[in-house]
Structures are given as structure tokens and as C-alpha cells.
Structure 1
Amino acid sequence: MDTRAEDVLRQFCTSSGTQQIYEAWRQDRRRVQVVPVVMQHQSKLVYELTPADVKSVCGRTEHALGGVRRADAEAVRAIVDWHPDFAFTHMFHVCMEQMQSLPAYQDFRRFADGSPLGREMLGIPAREKVSATVAEGCPLPLARDAMRWRVGNAYYSFLREIYTVVELRSQGVDLRVHPLADALFRVDAWVGSKALSLRVGNENFRKGRDEGRKVPTEKLLADVYPPLEFATLELSPATKFGRVHLPAAHHLESAAERLRT
């Protein structure tokens, strides 16, 4: 079982609005390297994972935020609000498929620093952004801490989303995922004509501050035909520093019931 970019376009790129979004992304000069990687990507491994697999990675992952203080990291706005050309969801999904396992944070760092594609997607752009921020007067340790905070929060968000998808699938919801749907159409997962969005109540935690999501999914895809139904799984903010914040069982049971109906 796999999900490809063609499946995403068939599902969501069916209106003039979504076609314009797709064409603008495809022709964006900043996405010259991004488009072929995303369009060739096949989501497979996520359908083979169990909730226990994800919890195992959550238990053994390196502390994704290290010893970084939130106040220090968020003071460096140039990095905390940074959007690399490859969205973080692109990087994590590609890393997972290339490794053929759900990566712990230390695995992802090795991918970003040690593989040609990982360096292209994140390793080199991150170092360049840190250097540019230092050139503007930010101390190097602070710039590095801000980048660790940026990437670490995005990683925790990715684990949270993968767990949600895997757990809901284990409850009989045939959810599908692909990074094109996530980054371009703001759909974390879908089943049939139902689009699922995973959100955190505290805006500062939402998607690791990744995509910003200024336009609600419901509005972005309002003219898709056949019409879509939208389901949102709202999480409370994380309460423990450095811990993967997974959705509670009762939230997932409620979401599964709505998605099966």
C-alpha cells in the first residue's frame, strides 16, 4: 500500500482555487529542487507502523530540544519563524522512507548532516541561515540554540501526527497521508472525502510553528468538488518540556468515531 502525489492531486486539486495553488507552487523558483522530490515521493512505511512502534521511538529519541531555553530561542525571530524551501513535513517523510523506519531525532540529524539529500533539504540551508543570522549580530551559540528549537519542535510535531494517523488506522479508519497534501493543502490526513487537521490549542506549538496555517483548511479547500468534510483534532498544549505530546486516548476514540461515520 502506498500514497503518491497523483493521489493527492486527484483528491484535492479539483477546483480552480486548488489548481492555482498547485501551479504557483510548481512554478515557484524557490521550489526548483523541492517539486521533483515531493512529486516522486511515495508514502509507504507509515501504513506498516503500529502505535507501539511510534511509542518506542518516542521513548528512545534524543531530547529534540536539548538544553535550549525557550525564551532564548524565541528571541531569535529570524530563525524561529524561518521557513526553509523544503517544508519540514517533506524532510521528515522523505527521511522516514529512505531509512525505512520512523526516525528518532538523532537519526534525523544524521540524515540531515550525512546524506546528500538530507544536506540539500536541511543541513546546508540551516547552516546558511545560522551564519546569516550571526552576520546580523546574533551570537553564534544563541543562533544555534534557536535552530535546535526550530527543528526540534517540528520533529515533535511530526511524531505527534504520525502517532495520530497510526493509532486511528489501528481503530479502523483508513487514513491516507502524503507530504504534498500536508504542506500544500494543509491536510494532515484524509479518508474518503473527509480531511483531518491536527491542531494544538496553543498557537505557538501548532505544527512546530512550521507552516503558519494562516488560511484555515476549510476555507482553502472550500471549492473542491466533490465537497469535502473537515474534521479537526484539537490537542491541549504540551505540559512537560522535551516530551513528545501525544493525543489522549479519548480524543482519538472520539475522532475515530467521527471519521468512521
Structure 2
Amino acid sequence: MARTTSGDVLQRFRVSPRTQEIYTNWKSDQRRADVAPVVMAHETRLVYELTIADVEAVCRRTEHALGQVRRSDGERVAAIVDWHPNFAFTHMFHVCMERMQRLPAYQDFRSYADRDSLGRHMLGNPARAKVREVVGRGIPEPLVRDAMRWRVGNAYYSFLREVYTVVQLRSMGIDLRVHPLADALFRVDAWVDDKVVSLRVGNKKFRQGGETGRKMPPERLLEDVEPPFKFDTIELSPATKFGAVHLPSPEHIAGAAARLSEG
């Protein structure tokens, strides 16, 4: 049975002065003193057992992660737009999936964040505290709650896209590996051998084309590694249909498989 541990991640990516510094700074950050033990103990297993049918079934049955929130409202509260708890969203989704032993639909994840002690600690309690804080500044509570739904819902859809892509490519013989430590520290969505894969939705606000926006790409974080990694990006056009999971097309997947299969 395939599995990936934090040790596997460090062996693959903590191999240069800069990547060692990134890891050391994260591990010693007192704001995340309770994060490191959870992430370091995490083992990725379930995603390697999922089938395409499993993922597609979740895409069909998931509650719409954005609810009825309009983009204009979801992106209106500046304090929520870029908010994140101490645990990265990728940590929470991966931990939730392994603990539940299934790919969670959005309603499953919400239940986990509300009812499970670790889920409350990672997201439920920090999200509620942030909502109270922002409402306390005089912003209407319904608007703040909509903004939080937009923030978490979009993070969930990003996770679902990544899982779909990994499962699709693995079904085509590409031994892609994933782990939340690689994602959160080095912006590595997935990797196989010396190839690093990024999945992006074209969005000028974030990192369309891989060069602009608020998120530093793995090409920059891993640029001092020798021998150098090869980087591949699967970039989707922005979603055009509200209420449906925006997934890579068969053409996107086939193109990535061809590139990743090259020597």
C-alpha cells in the first residue's frame, strides 16, 4: 500500500540551504507550535486508493461549497479575503480525509470542523473567533459569514481539484505523491521523481501564469536545489458555471500525463 510521510517530503525537498531555512523557520514558529506535530505525524494513504469514480461521486453529491454567496459579497470583507488559521487549509483537508477514511464532500468537512475535537481546533474555533472579531469592528454579521463561507469554500474546491488531478494522473501510470507538508512549505501540489506539479486556476489576483500574485510559486522556493527540479503547471481557465466543481479537462490531464512521462 502506497504511503507518503513527512520524512519522505523532507528527504525530497529539504535539500538546500533555502529549503532547510524554510523548514527550520516553520518548525520554530511559536504561532504554529501545535501545527508541526500534527503535520509531521501525518501519513498520506487514502488518496492513493481513490478511484476516479470515487472522486466524481463526491463532486456530484457535495453541497455547493460557496452556498448562495455572491462573489461581490464573498470578496468584500478585506479581513477575511486573505485570512487563514494557524493550520493551513491543506493541512485540514488532508487530515480530515485520512481521519474520515473517505474523500469528504463539503458538508462532511463542515461537520468534521464543527464536531471533531481536532477539526474544531484546526478550523471551527479559529473561524468563529475571526468572525466575532470582524463583526466587532462594525461589519454586518451576515456579510462576514458570507465572506468566511467564500474563503473556506474556495479552499475546499481547490483541494478537490488537486485530488481529482492526482487520482486521474495516477490512473494513467504517473506515480504522483502528495503531502500537506510539501504543499504548505514548498507550494508543491504534487510530485513524481524530480518533477513538481502545480495546479492553478488562472486569476490575475493570485498567480496567473505563475509569475504574479500573492503566492510565491515553487519555482522560486526551490530555485537553489541542485540538481534542479523540473516544474509543470496545469493551469485552468476561470470557472464559468456557478454551483459546479471546476475540474481540469481531459485535455489538461492528457497533456500533463504526456509531459510527466517524458524523461
Q: Which residue of 1 aligns with 2:130?
A: 129
After TM superposition, give the deviation of residue 206 of structure 1 in Å: 6.7
Q: Which residue of 2 aligns with 1:82?
A: 83
Q: Which residue of 2 aligns with 1:235?
A: 236
SS across alignment from 1:259? helix
Q: Which residue of 2 aligns with 1:26?
A: 27
Contact 2:206–2:214 (Cα < 8 Å) also in 1: no
Q: Which runs of 5+ in 2 are unaligned?
A: none
After TM superposition, give the deviation of residue 205 of structure 1 in Å: 7.1
Contact 2:206–2:215 (Cα < 8 Å) also in 1: no
RMSD between superposed Cα atoms in Å: 1.3
Letter in 2 for 1:107: D
Contact 1:205–1:237 (Cα < 8 Å) also in 2: no
SS across alignment from 1:237? coil
Q: State the alpha-carbon separation in 1 of the partners of residues 143 and 207 from structure 2.
A: 23
Q: State the alpha-carbon separation in 2 of the partners of residues 180 and 93 from structure 1.
A: 10
Runs of 4+ in 1 over 4 A off after TM superposition: 204-207
After TM superposition, give the deviation of residue 227 of structure 1 in Å: 1.8
Letter in 2 for 1:27: S
Contact 2:45–2:98 (Cα < 8 Å) also in 1: yes
Number of aligned residue pairs: give it: 257
Q: Which residue of 1 aligns with 2:55?
A: 54
Q: Which residue of 2 aligns with 1:140?
A: 141
Asked if 1:151 corresponds to 2:152, the answer is yes
Q: Which runs of 5+ in 1 are unaligned?
A: none
After TM superposition, give the deviation of residue 51 of structure 1 in Å: 1.0
Q: State the alpha-carbon separation in 1 of the partners of residues 193 and 241 from structure 2.
A: 35
Letter in 2 for 1:87: A
Q: State the alpha-carbon separation in 1 of the partners of residues 10 and 107 from structure 2.
A: 33
Contact 1:2–1:43 (Cα < 8 Å) also in 2: yes
Q: State the alpha-carbon separation in 2 of the partners of residues 204 and 114 from structure 1.
A: 34
Q: State the alpha-carbon separation in 1 of the partners of residues 8 and 225 from structure 2.
A: 15
Q: State the alpha-carbon separation in 1 of the partners of residues 46 and 226 from structure 2.
A: 29
1:100-142 per-position Cα deviation (integer Å, ceiling 9, x unaligned): 0000000000000000000000000000000000011111111
SS across alignment from 2:234? strand
After TM superposition, give the deviation of residue 202 of structure 1 in Å: 1.5
Contact 1:188–1:198 (Cα < 8 Å) also in 2: yes
Q: State the alpha-carbon separation in 1 of the partners of residues 257 and 23 from structure 2.
A: 30
Q: State the alpha-carbon separation in 2 of the partners of residues 204 and 157 from structure 1.
A: 15
The percent of aligned pairs where both chains have the same amino acid is 68
TM-score scaled by length of structure 1: 0.96
Q: Which residue of 2 aligns with 1:93?
A: 94
Q: State the alpha-carbon separation in 1 of the partners of residues 105 and 41 from structure 2.
A: 24
Provide closer, same or farther for how the CA distance between residues 180 and 213 of structure 1 changes in structure 2, counting only shifts above 3 A. Answer: farther
Stretch of structure 1 that moved more, 194-203 or 114-123: 194-203
Letter in 2 for 1:152: G
